[in-house]
Amino acid sequence: MGKKVFLASDHAGFSLKSALCEHLKEQGHEVYDLGPEQAISCDYPNSAFKVTDKVLENEDSLGILICGTGIGMSMAANKVKGIRAALATCEFHAKATRQHNNANVLCLGERVTGVGVALGIADIFLNTEFEGGRHLRRIELFDKM
Ligand code: RB5
């Protein structure tokens, strides 16, 4: 079933964001591109918070953030209570972080991860469910901080 997905990037993640938006629409997801509209220099925390706001407002939605490395986006997003952002560089990261961490935001680095690999990571992230159980107890230990 298609997911509601919010995406944003900075200038360094712009072209991967464009590729992801097109691909995820083709996969039947409800895709919201929160910018930027062009690859002009911008500050990644502002993009991160646009997505985290929407993910928190929309139950069962997921976010994707792309910068040069994915690191700055993950740092910024993880400052927001209720957000569990995961930087993924392979499909196993994507699968495990949904199953075990119930990650609600995926972070990608355009300067690190090729577009083909990144599309595969996003597909796995959007199509894998949280396993709950002992993993719920563990994320509750940090969600309440
Ligand atoms: C932009 O040059 C770069 O610093 C940014 O995209 C990101 O990689 C930060 O973590």
Residue 39: pLDDT band with limits 50, 70, 90: very high
Q: How far apart are CA 44 and CA 12, in angstroms?
A: 9
Ligand 1: which atom is nearest the Cα of residue 11? Answer: 6
The rounded Å distance from CA 16 to ligand 1 centre is: 14
Residue 35: pLDDT band with limits 50, 70, 90: very high
Is the whole-model pTM more than 0.95? yes
pLDDT at position 119 over 90: yes
Q: How far apart are CA 141 and CA 13, in angstroms?
A: 32
Q: CA 107: distance to chain centroid? A: 5
Which residue from 46, 69, 108 has its CB within 8 A of the most atoms of ligand 1, so it is best to mutate? 69
- Tell me the per-residue pLDDT of 61-99, one tens digit each, with 9 for 90 and over: 999 999 999 999 999 999 999 999 999 999 999 999 999
Q: How far apart are CA 51 and CA 49, in angstroms?
A: 5
Which residue from 9, 10, 71 has its CB within 8 A of the most atoms of ligand 1, so it is best to mutate? 10
CB–CB of 42/75 below 8 Å?
Answer: no
Q: CA 31: distance to chain centroid? A: 12
135 is catalytic: no
Q: What is the mean pLDDT of residues 15-33?
A: 98
The answer to whether the bond into 45 is cis (omega within 30° of 0) is: no
Instruction: Count Cα atoms within 13 angstroms, Cβ side, for 143.
Output: 13
Of 11, 21, 29, 67, which is the active-site residue?
Answer: 67
**Per-residue pLDDT, 83:** 98
The protein residue with its alpha carbon nearest to ligand 1, atom 7, reads 68
**Per-residue pLDDT, 144:** 85
Looking up tokens 């409800």, which residue turns up? 30
